[in-house]
Chains A and B, each alone.
Chain A
Amino acid sequence: MSTCHENQGKAAPVLSEQTIVLAGNPNCGKTTVFNLLTGAHQQVGNWPGVTVEKRSGSLQLAKKKVSVIDLPGVYSLMGGGGEDQRVARDYLLDTPVDLIVNIVDASNLERHLALTAELLETGHPMLLIMNMTDEAEARGWKLRCTELENALGIPVVPMVARKNKGRDYLLQRMIEALQKKPQGHPILYPAPVEEALQTLGTTLSGQNSARTRMDALRLLDGSAQPSSDPNAKMLKDLRRHIELISDEDPADLVMDRRFSWAHDMADIALQAHGKAGLRDQINHHLDRIVLNEWLGVPIFLLVLYLVFVVSFSGGNIFLDFFDQASAALLIHGTGHLLLLAGLPDWLISVIAGGVGGGLNLVISFIPPIGLTFLFLAFLDDSGYMARAAYAMDRLMRRMGLPGNALVPMVIGFGCNVPAIMGARIIEDPRGRILTVLMQPFMSCSARLTIYMAFAVVFFRSNGGQVVFALYVLGILVALLTAWLLGKTALRGEAMPFVMELPPYRLPSFRSVVLQSWQRLKVFIFRVGKVIAVIGLVLFILPGIGWTSQGLRSTDIDHSLLAQGSQALVPIFAPMGVRSDNWPAVSGLIAGAAAKEIVIGTLNGIYQRQNAADLMADYRHPDIIGQLRDALLTIPANALTFMRTLDDPLGLSAMTSTTATEQASGAESATLQAIAAGFTPLSAFAYLVFVLLYVPCASTMGALRREVGWGWMGFSLLYGTGLAWGTSTLIFQAGTFAAHPAASLAWIAGIMTSFGLLIIALRIYGRRQDTNSAASVKNQAAA
């Protein structure tokens, strides 16, 4: 009974930290309980190799540190679920677990207890939290925890996690359970099933008996395929034998046993003592509106519009503050300190201007992105998201996409990175890949700064329409991409829609804030690293060049940046970039790293050409003054926000030059240079290129994480190719009269390449189809 002999097996345990695992159905309140237990001591990461979010944290229990893992919410461990399910199953069966804390929704007990039956079979010590007892009582149920505790053989703790009710009792019972290791009474199946499990077990090489039993069960109910032909034959015989004796399918026998067990347990635990109250009524009426055949889609679009407006316009209230305050501290303050410390000028420029400047960029994007995460966490916990997905399903299905694909697309208007991560809400892998690949074409807020700078020069009278056209073009390209890939490389149908609609709930403030803060933190660190490095490179490249004496510091016109850009200009010539306009190409190079720095790069080039004294800012920085000014932007921007609620893109600002200049962040020198380097047509073609090519390094990083190197590479090449093709088409069509033969050649060339791409995708898709057909055939034969 002591713990010592258990520790002997492990390799030199460092005071062997105990592990508690939270498991339960989706929406049982798992994350709320997790936050309640761990507070700020938590990290968000990924389960190895998959895009399922992993939360882990720690907790002090009886003066010992215990680690807590929040497993993804699943309905069952057996089969029928996606990656989430595999992650949960593998973790529970293959890792040493000291205590499973199974959370169930007391207001929907029977269904939730079906998972409890499976968890008991893992053989780990267990504790049950009856959460949402407030809702159960509102439904007219009385709880009998002691009776359930006796029947299950494990501790049962009633809770209202959202209101922090029951935490102390939970901690006490957890300490107890870690010592006593209650394993409860796992269910037994009808005798023929148990015999079959025994026999199947002998063919399996599970690490432990729970693994073997689970694998045997999954073989028997068809969730897993046998490894060899003799085993397959044996399985077939066993199945037939069971059917013969009991006149029922083995899978049904297993399921029936589990559900009737759950039914009995729920009977023990709940006593009806009143009738359903107000809560059900509210749910019912809300659903009648939200799911209404005509209102469903408009309501969803309205909700998303609000999220978009409030996150990005609302975020703008604080954007200038974050931008200016971090510039004051990180660039000017740091520069000043380094100057006082006596560092050489070039090093100061690199650290303060390069790294500091890069970080400054990331920090200024915290408000809009943080707000998006906040709203999404709120919507997610409120129970609305599942309804929105259902409302949109029919429309999106026509494009071969599941209903919830629209959510990431809208987030993409703000920033493509959270949009790509947001595609995780899509269960079926095909739909998720399609959705992820659409995101780079959604015009993010960083691209807007570039449109603004060009609009003010070339499209003074119709800037709003031009920018709107670019947004629409992005959406169309995204949808066409999904449609095209769905017809060629990723053929198949969106999975039939089946989803639980959780009751509407008021999310807990603490949970929403913690959840979005964790996601924001991941974003800041990942993107911050990339941008700090890029800021550095962009700072060095314009300052050094290749001369007859080797690499030397030079003026900008002979710098590596100029040389590199000039070398690339011919590629962009067909879309209207003139050979003397190399800064435009530099802007695109920088833009591949981050769209936020395109205008900054152009500014930098023209400023350097004017040889501004970069060190002046560091010598006499007025940090206090700058911080004060930064603070003052908040009320000023708040006023603007109130005035422009109906205009989230700020398009009306385009009628005034100064306002647009401010919005784009371009200096007037830059605007003049833009005016000299482009025609309205080539400017528009350039903007189309900006819209469609590589969104930024962070987006590429997110793509690689979510869909792997292969699809990331495809997205990169496809996006850039499409950008170049479309811009060239636009420019050549617009200048057709000047050189009809050349234009015709370009246009024909682009069309042919696109045709070839479609054929290639088709062939790839066919090959995938035959591959999977072959594997299905193998399985069927087995």
Chain B
Amino acid sequence: MNTPNLASENPSRSLDQLPSAASARIIRIAGDRAMQQRLQMLGIRPGVALQIVHGPNKRGVVIQINGARFAIGSSMVQKIWVTELSA
């Protein structure tokens, strides 16, 4: 796991505000319970580190968590709050 103090340095923002190719850690997922559960079962949950591999753009964003890639549509992207991890 990365050092936790980075989280306090960078403010949290929604996933669509990250620059492309950024790394970030998920802080919070807004939205209804069913959607949270869906994301959680995919391993997209608070605390995990992710890397942006495509986007963000109007369509959404493609992220990588460990070995897996996920496409997240634009309506969901705004509900995932992260802090950027400096490379």
Contacts and interface: CB of A to CB of B under 8 A. Distances in A.
A496 B58 contact: no
Nearest to A141: B67
B42 A75 contact: yes
Interface string B52-85: 0110011110100111111111111000000000
A111 B67 contact: yes
Given A79-B37, A288-B54, A496-B35, A108 B42 contact: no
B37 A108 contact: no
B70 A111 contact: no
Given A79-B37, A259-B43, A293-B59, A501 B69 contact: yes
B77 to A, nearest CB: 9
Given A111-B66, A497-B76, A80 B37 contact: yes
A258 to B, nearest CB: 10
Interface stretch (A166-174, A349-357, A385-393): A385-393
A498 B72 contact: yes
Contacts of A284: 53
A83 to B, nearest CB: 14
A498 B76 contact: yes
Interface string B5-23: 0000000000000000000
A287 interface: yes
Contacts of B65: 111
A291 B38 contact: no
Contacts of A502: 69
A223 interface: yes
Contact of B73 (A80, A111, A114, A497): A497
B71 A80 contact: no
- Looking at B39, B59, B72, B76, which has the most chain A CB atoms within 10 Å of its CB? B59
Given A107-B67, A501-B62, A501-B69, A496 B42 contact: no
Interface in A349-405: 386-387, 390-391, 393-394, 397
B57 A114 contact: no
B42 A500 contact: yes
Contacts of B34: 79-80
A291 B62 contact: yes
B36 to A, nearest CB: 8
Interface string B29-48: 00101110111111111100
B41 A390 contact: no
B47 to A, nearest CB: 8
A215 interface: no
Contacts of B57: 293
A499 B71 contact: yes
Nearest to A256: B47
A494 to B, nearest CB: 9
B37 A223 contact: yes
Nearest to B31: A496
A139 to B, nearest CB: 7
A78 B41 contact: yes
A497 B60 CA distance: 9
A390 B40 contact: no
Interface residues of B, number: 33
Given A223-B37, A500-B70, A255 B60 contact: no
Contacts of B71: 291, 386-387, 390, 497-499, 501
A712 B77 CA distance: 37
B68 A76 contact: no
A293 B58 contact: yes
A682 to B, nearest CB: 47
A287 B69 CA distance: 10
Contacts of A397: 73
Nearest to B44: A498
A287 B53 contact: yes
A291 B54 contact: yes
Interface in A320-339: none
Nearest to A221: B37
A190 interface: no
Contacts of A496: 31, 35, 72-73, 75-76
Contact of A390 (B44, B59, B67): B59
Contact of B41 (A75, A105, A107, A222): A75
B43 A111 contact: yes
Contact of A498 (B39, B46, B67, B68): B39
Given A259-B45, A288-B54, A293-B59, A501 B70 contact: yes
A110 interface: yes
Nearest to B46: A252
A393 B41 contact: no
Given A394-B59, A497-B73, A222 B39 contact: no
A498 B73 contact: yes
A291 B62 CA distance: 9
A81 interface: yes
Contacts of B37: 78-80, 222-223
B45 A498 contact: no
Given A79-B37, A80-B40, A287 B62 contact: yes
A114 B43 contact: yes
B71 to A, nearest CB: 4
Contacts of A291: 54, 62, 71
A114 B72 CA distance: 21
Contacts of B44: 498
A391 B73 CA distance: 10
Interface string A56-84: 00000000000000000001101111000
A108 B67 CA distance: 5
A394 B58 contact: yes
B61 to A, nearest CB: 10
- Looking at A78, A111, A139, A255, which has the most chain B CB atoms within 10 Å of its CB? A111
A566 B14 CA distance: 68
Contacts of A393: 59-60, 73
A111 B40 CA distance: 11
A75 B45 CA distance: 14
A81 B68 contact: no
Interface in A12-55: none
Interface in A251-278: 252, 255, 259
A587 B1 CA distance: 71
Contacts of B54: 287-288, 291
A288 B69 CA distance: 13
Nearest to A114: B43
- Looking at B33, B46, B69, which has the most chain A CB atoms within 10 Å of its CB? B69
Nearest to A135: B67
- Looking at A80, A108, A114, A394, which has the most chain B CB atoms within 10 Å of its CB? A80
A598 B67 CA distance: 54
B45 A255 contact: yes
A304 to B, nearest CB: 18
A396 to B, nearest CB: 11
Given A80-B38, A80-B41, A500 B58 contact: no
B78 to A, nearest CB: 10
B34 to A, nearest CB: 7
Contacts of B42: 75, 111, 498, 500
Nearest to A80: B37
A288 B44 CA distance: 22
6 contacts: A79-B34, A111-B42, A222-B37, A283-B69, A291-B71, A496-B72
Given A108-B67, A291-B71, A496-B76, 7 more contacts: A80-B37, A80-B39, A222-B33, A390-B60, A496-B72, A498-B44, A499-B71
8 interchain residue pairs of minimum CB distance: A497-B73, A80-B37, A108-B67, A76-B41, A496-B76, A390-B71, A80-B38, A501-B69
